[in-house]
């Protein structure tokens, strides 16, 4: 039983540390998610999006918080927070913050982006040159749906997005799978199914085990799922708050 919970929290962390980046329609909104492993409630998540100004420019602020609940929290105590400020026109980030608390493990980093000369400054590693149009892990999917015309993509089409997570830079490959109708507690929607390609490793069932079901109209994820070798983990929206 403890091994099952261990797999569960690893996958839960994977949601927040990798590609859990909801796509909200409209500004000044919050979405609350319930995270389940089979019939077991394992955690909650909240995503906020609102207008802001940064460096005198119109921007959008994103915030993601995720934490374990119940028995899972007593065992693993996960509370992760990701923040990002992106340009309202280009959707490229100016600032990204990652604040991770998982049992006794702590990680905090703040990254400043200087796209005019393809560089960043990380509070953990200092300044460095980076690939053009580098984005952070939280704003990755906001960037994709705002910059790319999803309706023109063919099934199986892949995008390569240079991405920074914490202070690690990688080329993130994201595949558009197909369209599906998804039913949740907040309604049904025709969704884009998007799968970031990841290493299979010891946890994932295959390299496309992480999937986002993104509502075509509202641009929010109606469902997020991870297929692991010990079962499926799902994140489902249960409430939308508009400010």
Considering 37-41, 166-170, 223-227, the range whose residues carry the highest mean pLDDT is 166-170
Confidence of residue 4 (pLDDT cuts 50, 70, 90): very low
More confident residue, 102 or 128: 128
CA 188 to chain CA centroid, nearest Å: 21
- pLDDT tens sequence across 31-42: 899 988 777 788
pLDDT band at 93 (very low <50, low <70, confident <90, very high): very high
- Domain ranges for the chain: 2-242
SS3 of 28, please? coil
Strands, E, within the chain: which ranges?
29-37, 40-54, 57-68, 78-87, 93-102, 105-114, 119-122, 126-129, 135-136, 158-165, 168-184, 187-196, 210-215, 221-228, 231-242
127-134 CB contacts, 8 Å cutoff, 24+ apart: 130/162, 130/164, 130/169, 131/162, 131/169, 131/171, 132/162, 133/92, 133/162, 134/162, 134/163, 134/164, 134/169
CATH architecture label of 2-242: Beta Barrel (2.40)
Mean pLDDT throughout 70-82? 84
What local confidence, expressed as pLDDT, does residue 31 receive?
84
Q: Which residues contact 105 (CB under 8 A, 6 or more apart)?
A: none
């Amino acid at each position: 039983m403890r091994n099952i919970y261990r797999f569960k929290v690893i996958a839960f962390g994977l949601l927040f540390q990798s590609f859990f980046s909801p796509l909200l329609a409209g500004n000044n909104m919050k979405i609350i998610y319930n995270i389940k492993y089979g019939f077991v409630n394992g955690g909650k998540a909240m995503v906020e999006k609102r207008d802001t100004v940064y460096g005198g420019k119109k921007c959008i602020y994103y915030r993601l918080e995720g934490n374990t609940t119940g028995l899972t929290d007593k065992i693993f105590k996960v509370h992760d927070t990701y923040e990002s400020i992106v340009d309202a026109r280009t959707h490229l980030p100016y600032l990204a913050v990652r604040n991770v608390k998982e049992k006794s493990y702590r990680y905090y980093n703040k990254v400043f982006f200087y796209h005019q000369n393809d560089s960043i400054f990380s509070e953990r590693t200092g300044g460095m040159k980076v690939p053009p149009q580098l984005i952070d892990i939280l704003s990755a999917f906001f960037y994709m749906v705002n910059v790319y015309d999803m309706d023109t993509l063919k099934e199986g089409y892949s995008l390569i997005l240079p991405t920074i997570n914490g202070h690690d830079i990688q080329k993130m490959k994201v595949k558009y799978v197909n369209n599906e109708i998804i039913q949740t507690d907040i309604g049904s929607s025709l969704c884009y199914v998007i799968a970031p390609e990841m290493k299979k490793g010891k946890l994932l069932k295959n390299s496309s085990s992480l999937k986002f079901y993104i509502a075509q109209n509202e641009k929010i994820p109606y469902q997020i799922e991870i297929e692991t070798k010990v079962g499926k983990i799902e994140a489902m929206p249960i409430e939308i708050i508009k400010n």
